[in-house]
Every structure is written in structure tokens, then in C-alpha cells.
Amino acid sequence: MAKSNYFSGKSVFGQLISLIDDKTIKEEVKKCDSDRYVKKFMTRDHLISMLFCSFAKCNSLREVSGAMLGLSGKTAHFKLNHIPKRSTLSDANKTRKVEFFENIYHRMLEQYGKVLSDSRIKEVLDKQVKIVDSSTISLFKDILKCVGRTPKDGKRKGGIKVHSVINADETVPNLVWFSPAATHDHNFLEKLKCDDNSIYVFDKGYNDYKAFENFTDHGTVFVTRIKNNADYKEIEALAVEDFIHSGVLQDDIIEVVVKGKDSDRTLKLRKVRFYDRKNKREFEFLTNLFELRADLIAALYKIRWQIETLFKQLKQNFPLKYFLGDNENAIKIQIYCVLIVNLLITVIKKKLKRSWSFSNLVSFCKIHLFNYINLMSFLENPEKDWIITKTESEQLSFF
């Protein structure tokens, strides 16, 4: 059979690492001063080691250091200068600044923004739809305060809550904030940037009338669900047009009370009651968007499920059940490295003309991490080497 056309001078891991610009790494190392007082295990080595952990789905320090020992002599093309021992990697995760890994992620997001973006939603609404949500990751040690009752033995697990914002036309977070699992979601609304070009979509766990007032004052639009026990006054019932047959049951202007230190204020909002035929249940949406049709308000909220899919994707495909350190710094570094790997795989998926599922791409990269395959060429036409020509078929039948 013909010689394979998929040979590459770089391993699959090397090709993936090459998507991170060397100049970016050097600039962030200098900016964060993350190599200060370090003799051998430099920041770049730390980054590559943790990315290897995410790609290979390693669950322990022993697994990372042991697997990387087999890379001796194969690290030149991705510039790994020092293979860490368990204690070295543990110490680095505990002491090196999280800001370096955070900055690398955001620099890459800026670099590949055009590849990831799908501008169709923004073109329709003339605004950027941003989805807000959080996901709790359980920890086996009481590192960060978790929620729920104290077990009978008195030993509680910890929990870290990852708050994220993603643009509806992208599939990766562009803002990430960590908090103990016991922290209420609405505290995150203070982190959001207010501008008249954004529509924030979030669930009812983020209900905060003071934040809603702040959004309205700055021209920022939001769509959420109203709480079951919400206290409000109906001001005006809007007509539901006859041509709308998509489940809108009621459309009202309401007034809520915003409590202040000195005096209370009132805020006008819009409440839309909607029947979802697919799930056979009613929803009540709350928004400060008065111009849009009521059925489109429901459609906007439906986009929110995109972030649920992202959290599911991260937890299923990457090592977020077992952490390489029992301290907050190590946990945050590992989460940011998972986000970087998720971004790299997403960029590869977006560049491919052939359709691959995300989980299949992750599995392929894990299995062939140190095989010298031209990644993009193979993924575009993986069956090419298996197609036997007529001459080759005749030669095989001869035997």
C-alpha cells in the first residue's frame, strides 16, 4: 500500500501546543513575574505539564509525572525543558500565580475570537447576547465552603462554584469567576459590564432587583425567569397578537420594589408567561426589554441552555473530578488549564470542514497524543489511507 500522507515532524501534542503563541507566554511570564526565584521548573514547563494532564486525563500527580518520564527525548518540538517530579509539580501548583494561566486563556480567546464567533445572532438582534450561569464542582476536602447539611460524621466536602459568561455566538467562556459553593449566584452580577450593546440571559438564581435597576439605568438588557414567590404589582396587560401561535399566554408590565438603605424605589419590568409545548410546562420570564415580541423573549431564554451544554462538555471530557492539589491555588490552575485545552479542541473543531463530535476529538487526541500524525490532514480525511486502489486490490488477491 502507498506510504501514509499523514506523517508529521511534530507529535499531535506538539501541534496542539503550537497553537499557543510563544511570544504570548513570554510576555505573560514577564508580566506576572512567575519565574522569579525559580531554578529549573519554569512557567512554560508548568503550563505544558498541566495541559498534558488535561489532554491525557490524568487523575494524580504520580500519573502525570510517571507518564511524562516516558517523553524523554521527545520534548524538543514543544520546548519542554524540565520533566517534573511529583513534589515539584505539587509545589508549583501551590505557589505559582493563577493570573498567568488566566491571562494565557484570555489572550488565546482574543487571538481565536474570529474563528470561534458566529455572528448570525448578533446580526438579527443588533446586540451581543451573553449567557450567565454557574456550575459547582465537588471537592473531597473541605477547602471551600459547600452547601447542604452537615453529615452525621461531621466531615463535609468542599465545593468550588465556577461562574461563567459566554457569548451566544461562541462555545467557550469569556469571563470566569470562582467562589465557594455556598456563595449566592446574584453576587456575580456585580462583575458584569453594563453597556447598551449587551443582552444578559440567566436563570432565576440570579434574581436581584438592585442589579436589575442598575442594568436598566445603564441601558443594559436582561432576560431571566421570575421567582415563584416574587412580590410585584401588575400595571398594564399588553395585547398578545393573534398571529403569535408560539405559546405566549400573557404579557404584562409589572412594578417591583427595590429596597434601599434610606428609601425604597419602584422599577417597571415586563413579565411574559409562556407555555412550552415540547416540555409541556409553563414558564414566566422577567425582562427590561419592552420592544421585542413576547415569543422572542422566550426564544432568547432558550439560548441559555447552551451554557449548560458547555458545563456538561467540560465535566465529561476533562479531569475535573480529581484535582492535583488540596489547595485553592492548585484547583484554580487546573480549571484554567482545562479551559485552555477546551479552547484548543474547539478551535480545531471550528477549523475542520469535516464534522467531528467534540468528545470524539478529545478521545482521538488522547489516544494519539504522541503519535507523529498530521492532525488536521488526518481529521479532514481519516479513511484516506484505507482506500485501496485497483492495482493494490489485484496484488492482494494474487496472494
pLDDT at 399 over 50: no
What confidence score (pLDDT) does residue 25 get? 95
Structure confidence at residue 124 as a pLDDT band (50, 70, 90): low
| pLDDT tens digits along 201-225 | 999 888 999 999 999 999 999 999 9
Over 50: is that where the pLDDT of 145 sits?
Answer: no
Rounded Cα distance between 6 and 374, Å, is 5
What confidence score (pLDDT) does residue 158 get? 58
Residue 245's pLDDT is 60
Q: Which position has the higher pLDDT, 81 or 153?
A: 81
Q: What pLDDT does residue 385 have?
A: 61
Amino acid at 51: L
Return d(Cα 323, Cα 391) in angstroms, integer.
54
Q: What is residue 95's predicted lDDT score, i.e. its pLDDT?
A: 94
H or E element in which residue 310 lies: helix 305-317
- Mean pLDDT across the stretch 305-332? 87
**Mean pLDDT within 132-159:** 59
Q: Which three cell numbers stand for residue 378?
A: 488526518
Q: Are the C-beta atoms of 108 and 132 separated by less than 8 Å?
A: no
Q: Is the pLDDT of residue 44 over 80?
A: yes
Has residue 364 got a pLDDT over 70? yes
| Residue-level pLDDT at 326 | 82
Rounded Cα–Cα distance for residues 148 and 308 (Å): 22
pLDDT in tens, 152-194: 444 445 578 888 999 887 888 888 888 887 777 888 888 888 8
Write down the pLDDT at residue 144: 45
Residues 69 and 132 sit within 8 Å (Cβ to Cβ): no
